[in-house]
Amino acid sequence: MATAISQTPPVAAEGVQKKPSGPLRVPLAHPTADSHPKERPALTAEHQEKYDWLLSQVKGYTEITSAKGSAPLSDHEKQWLTKECLLRYLRATKWHQKDAEKRLRETLVWRREYGVEDLTAEHISPENETGKQVVLGFDKEGRVCHYLNPGRQNTQPSPRQVQHLVFMLERVIELMPAQQETLALLINFKQSKSRSNTAPGIGLAREVLHILQSHYPERLGKALIINVPWIVNGFFKLITPFIDPMTRDKLKFNEDMRQYVPTEQLWTEFNGSLEFEYDHSVYWPAFIKMCADRREARTQRWIAGGKQIGESEDYLAGHAETGMAPPPATAAEAAVEKPLESTEPAAVAEPVVEKKAEEEVKAEAAPTPTVAAA
């Protein structure tokens, strides 16, 4: 039963919208008032048919087999399989429905084997102590801004570095406002005193690209990259063959980021006017709490909506009043649909039936009258 649950941002998140006395040290909760996502185009009849087919296939999953064994879809996985999720895979495969279904299943397997739902803030925390990844503010289309600062690298290459990116992407998705399903990636390759070579290794870059393109399709809205030194420029030339054309078109090098992000929500290190200072002891717990609150609100709405596979992300984000399940019928509607039953007690009707039967028996027992001869 799809009932509306108000999505009230946490008190801490609301407070970060106010202008602080010093540099900001916590995430921003909302886009500016004049930042709006572009309207989504309506599905064509053909695309709707392909979506309906894919939804029916996914609803038919009895279990998913991975290296960890076979198991039915968990509630987390069912909630992840939203209407917009299915559409993203259809668009990524140019509406080849069987390819989309194959990739969806592969992502479900990958999420289990990689342990996406098992990554914790405590495990990832050491990777972010210097603020090499920061989620802060929104662009002019309401996309969450995800900042990457390679010059602040504080650890050696390891699986946890990739897990760090996956963990942060999952949190960015939780903070996306209604009607927006893509993010803005802002990368500053500015060198630091401790790190002059800010280019990641080719092997690590290829692994990250594979994860992004295979398991987070249609999630990148813009990638704004500044301070690209010659060595990083050479790095991008090396990895360009591994970037699909659609993603490549979203990369913007050394452009004025104020074209895309409101200056009041753009970090000063990226040529904006937002004074922000990364303090891990302050930012990290505030960021994790904000994400947890948004995640819980969405989960409660999903439960209230009947735990539907193919649920609308706009409903989960609080933008739509109802989800896939029809709203509960009112008393008046129920009365029209169900005819009124007789209020006469059954005990009253029984003697009438018995009396009628008794009269029929007496009639059969009475002598037949003789007819006089003419």
Give residue 347's pLDDT: 45
Alpha carbon distance 118, 120 (integer Å): 6
If DSSP codes are grouped into helix, strand and coil, which group holds residue 110? helix
Q: Give residue limits of the domains in the chain.
A: 11-316, 333-357
At 93 the pLDDT is 96
Q: Which of 111, 94, 87, 186 is nearest to 143 (CA)?
A: 186
Residue 187, SS3?
strand
Domain 11-316 grouped into CATH 3.40.50.720: no
| CA–CA separation, 150 and 127 (whole Å) | 12
- Whether 103 and 94 have beta carbons less than 8 Å apart is answered as no
Residue with tokens 């993603």: 247
Tell me the CA distances in angstroms from 215 to 35, 83, 205, 218, 260, one per residue in order.
28, 16, 15, 10, 26
Q: What are phi and psi of 19, to 5 degrees?
A: -70, 120
* The pLDDT value given to residue 245: 79
CA dist 121 and 242 (Å) reads 30
Q: Report how far residue 354's alpha carbon sits from residue 358's, in angstroms, rounded to the nearest whole number.
A: 6
What's 300-344 look like in SS3? Answer: HHHHHCCCCCCCCHHHHCCCCCCCCCCCCCCHHHHHHHCCCCCCC
pLDDT of 198: 54
Per-residue pLDDT of the chain (374 residues; tens, 9 = 90+): 444 443 434 434 443 455 557 899 999 999 999 999 999 999 999 999 999 999 999 999 999 999 999 999 999 999 999 999 999 999 999 999 999 999 999 999 999 999 999 999 999 999 999 999 999 999 999 999 999 999 899 999 899 999 999 999 999 999 999 999 999 999 998 876 665 555 566 677 788 889 999 999 999 999 999 988 776 677 677 667 767 777 888 888 899 999 999 999 999 999 999 999 999 999 999 999 999 999 999 999 999 999 999 999 999 999 999 998 765 554 455 455 555 444 444 444 444 444 444 554 444 444 443 333 33
pLDDT number for residue 56: 98
Secondary structure of residue 246 in the 3-state scheme: helix
CB of 239 closer than 8 Å to CB of 208: no
Residue in the structure block whose two tokens are 């992000």: 261
Name every residue whose Cβ is closer than 8 Å to that of residue 370 and which is 6 or more positions away in sequence: none
Q: How much is the pLDDT for 148?
A: 94
Chain Cα centroid distance, residue 260: 23
Determine the angle formed by the axes of helices 97-114 and 45-59, rounding to 10 degrees: 40
Q: What is the reported pTM?
A: 0.81
